[in-house]
Structure 1
Amino acid sequence: MYATTKNDYHGLLKEGYNKNESAQVTTKKDPDLKGEKTKPYEEWTKEELYQEAIKAGIPGRSYMSKKNLIHSLKKN
């Protein structure tokens, strides 16, 4: 299992992992992504950016250009 969020990091700390172990686990890339999410936002399609904006809960995403979606996702 790969931890990917701040909550996962804190959960690992509560389970007894030290800070270094927790940080290492939470920064590992999930091999199941096969690089799909590791490429820079500029290489994503507008649809991929839009779907990520939905997950992030970015308001006004349906009216945004690709450039605006990238900016909002990086800011979020």
Structure 2
Amino acid sequence: MPNSSIKNEKMYEELRDRGESKEKAARIANASASEGKKKVSARGGKSGSYDDMTKDELYERAKKVGIEGRSGMSKDELVKALRDH
């Protein structure tokens, strides 16, 4: 069933089939529809490794993307939550 808030349904479904969360799949699909797939894919992978970040850096990243319960999470839990988001 088409979702009016998703701009690239095909890409959204492909990402969901690969196991991405609904939010992440929608974010990527909508960005590729408005900016172009090449531009979106070119910037992918430029972020540093979560394993190399401090707990404070991970906390700020989790806060930015809206992960709930982050204040009580350990560094490993923050990494897992961000990877699963």
Deviation at 1:39, TM superposition (A): 1.9
Misfit runs of 4+, over 3 Å: none
Query: Greater Rg, structure 1 or structure 2?
Result: 1
**Matching residue of 1:8:** 31
Deviation at 1:9, TM superposition (A): 1.3
Provide the TM-score with structure 2 as the length reference.
0.59
Please show how residues 29-44 of structure 1 align to structure 2 within 5 Å.
29=43, 38-44=47-53
Provide the TM-score with structure 1 as the length reference.
0.65
Q: Which runs of 5+ in 2 are unaligned?
A: 1-26
How large is the Cα RMSD of the aligned pairs?
A: 1.8
Q: Which runs of 5+ in 1 are unaligned?
A: 13-21, 31-36
Report % sequence identity: 35
Q: 2:75 & 2:33 partners in 1: Cα distance?
A: 33
